[in-house]
C-alpha cells in the first residue's frame, strides 16, 4: 500500500499495515489527538503506516509524501486523554533514520518492550532537571514552578516537538 518506504529489518516486531488496518489505527489516532497535542497541526493528514506487534505503538506519516514521521504510543481509549498535550505519547522520527528506528526501537532480546530511545529521553530529562536546579541555585534563572522536573519535561517536549 505504501510505496517507496524502507523495508523493515527482519527480526523486528514492526510490520507495515494494509489499507484496512491503516484506516482502523488512523481512526483511533485521530480520536486521541486533540487540539492541545502537537500532532493536531497535521490532524487531517495523519496516516498510520506501521504497527509494533510488541505493544500499542504505531508509525505515523503525514499525508502521502512520507517525509515526516512520528512514533505514537496509542492509548486505545477512543478519546482525548485527560492530559491532552502529553498523550498519546509521541515523537518525531527522521526519514533518514527509519531503518535504525525499526531496528533499535524495541529491546525484545531482554524482554523489555519499550522504545530504547525513551531511556535516552529519561536520561536527558534528568540532565535538564539537574541543570535547571544548578542554574536556579546559582541565581542565574528563576523557575516559577514547584517542580524543576516538570519544567525540564516541558523544555524537552518543546525541543522534541520543534524538530
pLDDT bucket at 136, cuts 50 / 70 / 90? confident
pLDDT the model gives residue 112:
47
- Does some domain include residue 127? yes
Counting the structural domains of the chain, the total is 2
Indicate if 27 and 99 belong to the same structural domain.
yes
Q: Give counts: helices (H), strands (E), the chain.
A: 4, 7
- Indicate whether 123 and 47 sit together in one domain: no
- Whether residue 93 sits in one domain with residue 38: yes
- What's the mean pLDDT when you consider all of the chain? 79
Continuous segment of H or E residues that includes residue 107: strand 106-107
Is it the case that residue 120 has pLDDT exceeding 60? no
| Domain range for 136 | 116-161
Considering the domain architecture, whether residues 141 and 68 belong to the same structural domain is answered as no
In a domain, 147, yes or no: yes
Mark whether 56 and 39 lie in a shared domain: yes
Q: How confident is the model at residue 109 (pLDDT cuts 50, 70, 90)?
A: very low
For the record, the C-alpha cell of 50 comes out as: 506501521
State whether 137 and 59 are in the same domain.
no
| Same-domain status, 24 and 99 | yes
pLDDT average, residue stretch 136-152: 77
Task: Please report whether residue 153 resides in a domain.
Answer: yes
| Domain identity same for 150 and 101 | no
- Structural domain contains residue 4: no
Question: Would 5 be classed as within a structural domain?
Answer: no
Is the distance from CB of 53 to CB of 66 less than 8 angstroms?
no
Measured distance CA(73)–CA(88) in Å, rounded: 6
Residues 101 and 57 in one domain: yes
Instruction: Answer whether residue 114 shows pLDDT above 60.
Output: no
Are residue 147 and residue 79 in the same domain, yes or no? no
122 with 128: CB under 8 angstroms?
no
pLDDT(95) > 80? no
Amino acid at each position: 500500500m505504501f510505496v517507496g518506504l524502507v523495508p523493515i529489518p527482519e527480526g523486528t516486531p514492526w510490520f507495515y499495515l494494509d489499507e484496512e488496518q491503516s484506516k482502523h489505527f488512523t481512526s483511533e489516532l485521530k480520536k486521541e489527538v486533540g487540539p492541545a497535542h502537537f500532532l493536531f497541526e497535521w490532524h487531517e493528514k495523519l496516516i498510520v503506516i506501521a504497527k509494533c506487534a510488541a505493544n500499542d505503538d504505531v508509525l505515523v506519516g503525514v499525508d502521502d509524501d512520507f517525509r515526516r514521521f512520528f512514533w505514537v504510543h496509542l492509548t486505545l481509549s477512543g478519546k482525548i486523554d485527560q492530559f491532552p498535550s502529553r498523550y498519546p505519547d509521541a515523537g518525531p522520527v527522521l526519514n533518514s533514520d527509519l531503518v535504525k528506528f525499526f531496528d533499535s526501537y524495541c529491546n525484545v532480546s531482554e524482554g523489555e518492550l519499550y522504545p530504547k530511545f525513551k531511556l535516552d529521553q529519561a536520561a536527558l530529562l534528568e540532565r535538564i532537571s539537574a541543570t535547571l536546579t544548578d542554574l536556579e541555585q546559582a541565581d542565574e534563572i528563576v523557575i516559577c514552578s514547584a517542580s524543576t522536573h516538570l519544567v525540564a519535561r516541558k523544555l524537552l517536549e518543546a525541543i522534541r516537538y520543534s524538530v
